[in-house]
Amino acid sequence: MRRRMSPDMPLSDPVETSPGPGRPTAHTAHAAHGPSGVSSLPLVPIAQLSLSMPRCRVRARVLSKSGIRAFTNSRGSSQLFSMDLMDSDGACTRATCFGVAVDKFYPAIQVKKIYEITGASVKQANPRYCRYPMELTLDERGAFLTALPEECGTERRPTNPSTSTPKVACVRTLLLVLHVIFGV
């Protein structure tokens, strides 16, 4: 197993993924991109994601994670799972993994944990499946996932609370507001 370490931040708990036979490890996949590959991507707030960037690097908390779903299309059978993400500015998006990436990332992702996702592709979201304007896709070759400590803080409220606030965050915010009002 290999560990993916972020060069600009100490990590307390990097995610380790077992690539399995014939699959590249994070180290070999990273090496294939060379010095101007995914490691040099700037950290982008979710609100600034656009189609002009083929790959991105975001830091976000996982708000929810779907189960693994099987599907069939014109290219054959495969599987997918998705997760809703929120960055420190409160902006939200969805990240989806398909095929082999499901095997690589699903066991590593934990709800309420903070991750840095590097090398995800950005695409216009299909409103039939995603309520956010942009969506990230993680593939098994070019995307990396690094768990970050809680001190990285992404505790702000989402920008669109009617569609993207988890119930726990709503209750926490309500309690903070009540505390401020009645505590004065």
22-74 tens-digit pLDDT: 333 333 233 333 334 556 889 999 999 999 998 999 999 999 999 999 999 99
Question: Residue 38's pLDDT is what?
Answer: 55
The residues spanned by each domain of the chain are: 2-156
Q: Is residue 9 predicted with pLDDT exceeding 50?
A: no
Question: Residue 21's pLDDT is what?
Answer: 41
Average pLDDT taken over every residue of the chain: 73
Question: Residue 26's pLDDT is what?
Answer: 35
2-156 CATH, one of 2.40.50.140, 3.40.50.720, 3.40.50.300, 2.60.40.650: 2.40.50.140
Looking at mean pLDDT, say which of 34-43, 151-160, 169-178 comes out highest.
34-43
What does the pLDDT average to over 2-29?
37
Q: What is the pTM of this model?
A: 0.64
Question: Residue 140's pLDDT is what?
Answer: 86
Task: Give me the percent of the chain exceeding a pLDDT of 90.
Answer: 54
DSSP string, the chain: -EE---TTS--SS--EE---TT---HHHHHHTT-TTSGGGPPB--GGG--TT-SEEEEEEEEEEEPPPEEEEETTEEEEEEEEEEE-TTS-EEEEEEETHHHHHHTTT--TT-EEEEEEEEEEE--TTT-SSSEEEEE-TTT-EEEEE-GGG---SPPS-HHHH--HHHHHHHHHHHHHHHHH-
Give the least confident one: 20-34, 72-86, 134-148: 20-34
